[in-house]
Structure 1
Amino acid sequence: MALQLVAHVKIKSGGCIKVKGEVAPEAQSFALNLGQDESNLILHFNPRFDFHGDIRTIVCNSKTEGQWDTELREAEFPFQQGEETKICVSFDAEEITVELPEGQELRFPNRFGLEAADYFSVTGDLHVKSVKFK
């Protein structure tokens, strides 16, 4: 997966990371990662158009010291290849909320209980147009 963006910033709970981008016309998948660093993620948000045997599925997970935890899968899939999309990620010590297109929301447990994150990245088949940390 191509790395589109990496930000090393202090993101506090309650804030929102707004990502606006265009999904590649031949997209297989893309991912948003949030955590302490690449090996310690409170959220790996991975919409898969056709990737690793998953078709039109959102896979969420966390990672501790480079080891993946248990995946959660979401069948609702509001993304379209070749179209623009907006995603907003916010979190508190209990859970992470991902606001999806079409007013959908995905909730994932904050397995670390972190109140701040230092790392955010976007990888894969999403051409990032803007990222705002609010």
Structure 2
Amino acid sequence: MAMPMELELTHVELKHVELRDGDQFKVKGRIMFQIDLALHFNPRFNDDTDGTVLVCNSKIAGCWGDEKREIHNPLQQGSIFKIVLKLMGDMFEVEMPDRQEIQFPNREGLDVITYIRIKGDLKIISFKIY
């Protein structure tokens, strides 16, 4: 499902999607956002602890688990970016613009993801599920 567009948004929700094992969700836009889909992916540029950092987390039974913090953050505020989030069985993989891959466990063991939320100060240029 490709959706060519250019929108300035603070919030996007996709309900009743079917992201399955091996599928990928690609987002291209400007930075200051978070993506939630059973994985919370949040690039931060002014984090109190680490300054510029990528934070991944997920909830288990409604409670946040332990964060994974990646100090290497190739994203820059205001720049155009493209990331690819992949559901890979027991793992999420996030491919960054510099080909760096971040892995985070699929803590709930979901086979299908039916909800995606993107929020923040973001200009979406395109997104695609394939």
Listed as ranges, the gaps of 5+ residues in structure 2 are: 1-8
Relative to the length of structure 2, the TM-score reads 0.85
Counterpart position of 1:44: 40
Question: Within the alignment, does 1:6 sit opposite 2:13 as a pair?
Answer: yes
Q: Specify the alignment match of 1:39 in structure 2.
A: none
State the one-letter code of the partner of 1:59: V
Percent identity, please: 40
Contact 1:43 1:60 in 2 (8 A): yes
Give the alignment of 1:66-81 within 5 angstroms: 66-81=62-77
The Cα of 1:129 is off from its aligned counterpart by: 1.4
In structure 1, runs of 5+ residues without a counterpart are 24-28, 35-41
Q: What amino acid sits opposite 1:46 in the alignment?
A: N
Name the SS of the counterpart of 2:89 in structure 1: coil
Aligned residues: 121
Give TM-score scaled by structure 1 length: 0.83
Contact kept? 1:4, 1:128, Cα under 8 Å: no
Structure 2 residue 63 is the aligned partner of structure 1 residue 16: no
* Post-superposition offset of 1:81: 1.4
Find out whether 1:120 has 2:116 as its counterpart.
yes
Q: Which residue identity is paired with 2:26?
A: K
Q: Which residue of 1 aligns with 2:83?
A: 87
Whether the 8 Å CA contact 1:49–1:55 is kept in 2: the answer is: yes
| RMSD (CA atoms) | 1.6
Instruction: Report the CA distance between 1:65 and its aligned residue.
Output: 4.1
Structure 2 CA distance, aligned partners of 1:18 and 1:99? 9
- Give the superposition deviation at 1:86: 0.1
